[in-house]
Amino acid sequence: MNTAVLALEDGTVFEGSSFGAPVERTGEVVFNTSLTGYQEIFTDPSYAGQIVVLTNPQIGNYGANDADNEAAKPYIEGLAVREFSPLSSNWRADETAQEFLASNGVPIITGIDTRTLVRHLRSRGVMRGVLSSIGGTTIGRTMDSLVARAKNSPSMAGLDLATRVSTTQRYEWSKAVDLCSPSDLAGKPAEPRFHVVAYDFGMKRNILRRLVQVGCRLTVVPAGTSAEDVLSLKPDGVFLSNGPGDPEPLEYPAAQVAKLVGHVPVFGICLGHQILGLALGGKTYKLKFGHRGGNHPVLNKITGRVEITAHNHGFAVDPDSLNMNELEITHTNLNDDTLEGFRHRSHPVFCVQYHPEAAPGPHDSLYLFDDFVKLMEAAR
């Protein structure tokens, strides 16, 4: 088995075994604490530009299948795990996770102490890295050269990745949640009563499925679509999707969203939440090591209930930058008190930082899709 090396920009190096594609990739090294759903993590476009460390010690044991994809391909730059299974044992598997990642050019490093790596990232913050699975030093690259390449790789701060991963063409979506999926609790989809235009900033498919489940007919549009073009489609509501990278460079999308406020109900998730914050005059900032996993406690300040939620983001909206005469904070993170959701006091506009659609993760927050439907009903 070939050797693989993960080198961080601060000079820390991990050496392990290579699976996946025999290639070398750079990216921001981040960690996710989810216990299940590795394929959904692999294919989440929000991970574009990132090497993902999974804290669950064994990955790959139930293989991969087309139904669990959140996009047409994996978007992670590389994968770091404690133990990677080259075999799969699950009736739903179409192929092994090794075959799935290798065929899509994703390198894997396994056999490293992921606990040490995660503790390092928590104390120092996420950082740039290089994952080389083509022989490490035997290919003529010293460890120092890998560290130097990590230092010279692009930073996520200031990087617009959303427009790179967005769809280039408008399309319709009508598929509901797959009832064969063991993660589904939704039941039979409602009849389509509302037309929703969904901005694709790096859209997860399960968001689209959940919207169809509650009775929406969907038109998905590219990240650079103008507000005028959106309104010409006569939507009952507009959805702002999740996505990768820094929200601050997305000035044009934020300006278009600002034009939509007051004309049509708007619902945003993750990057969509951040873009909505920017559209309403707020600012965003980079978190030390981000929120990525399926067990983050969030307080719903309207109901007083605590929701266990799925997260995947490295930036947050600064609540002090928002105009509280216009906006109301609805959700906060109980781990670090970061802003997790807000709504407009005068217009049918709301958003959350976390992922109510799960995939992977808990279903505590599925009610938000119903809340969006209620806003559209009221707006009619």
Residue 186, pLDDT above cutoff 90: no
State yes or no: pLDDT of 359 exceeds 80. Answer: yes
Per-residue model confidence as pLDDT tens digits over 340-349: 999 999 999 9
Q: How does strand 171-173 pair with strand 58-59?
A: unpaired
Q: What is the DSSP string of 26-58?
A: EEEEEEE--SS-HHHHHT-GGGTTEEEEE-SSE
| Per-residue pLDDT reduced to its tens digit, 173-183 | 998 876 444 44
pLDDT > 90 in the chain, percent: 89
Q: What is the mean pLDDT of residues 111-139?
A: 87
d(CA 370, CA 281): 27
Beta bridge partners of 109: 18, 80
Dihedral over Cα of 231, 237, 243, 247: its sign: positive
Domain positions in the chain: 3-152, 162-379
Q: Which of 37, 323, 84, 43 is nearest to 181 (CA)?
A: 37
For the cut 50, the answer to whether the pLDDT of residue 363 exceeds it is: yes
pLDDT the model gives residue 139: 45
Q: Can you tell me the distance from the alpha carbon of 250 to that of 218, in angstroms, rounded to the nearest whole number? A: 23
pLDDT above 80: residue 137:
no
The CATH number of the structural domain formed by 3-152 is: 3.50.30.20
Reading the block at residue 273, the tokens are 């939440």
At residue 143, the pLDDT reads 87
> CA dist 238 to 176, 219, 297, Å?
18, 10, 27
Per-residue pLDDT reduced to its tens digit, 207-244: 999 999 999 999 999 999 999 999 999 999 999 999 99
DSSP of 77-116: SEEE-SEE-S----TT-SB-HHHHHHHTT-EEEESS-HHH
Give the global pTM: 0.94
Topology given in CATH for the domain delimited by 162-379: Rossmann fold (3.40.50)
Catalytically active residues are 270, 355, 357
pLDDT in tens, 65-96: 999 999 999 999 999 999 999 999 999 999 99
φ, ψ for residue 199 (rounded to 5)? -75, 130
Q: Is residue 136 pLDDT above 50, yes or no?
A: no
Q: Mind listing the pLDDT tens digit for each residue in 277-336?
A: 999 999 999 999 999 999 999 999 999 999 999 999 999 999 999 999 999 999 999 999
The pair of structure tokens assigned to 367 is 């009610």
Structure tokens at 54: 């999974």
Q: Is 190 helix (H, G, I), strand (E, B) or coil?
A: coil
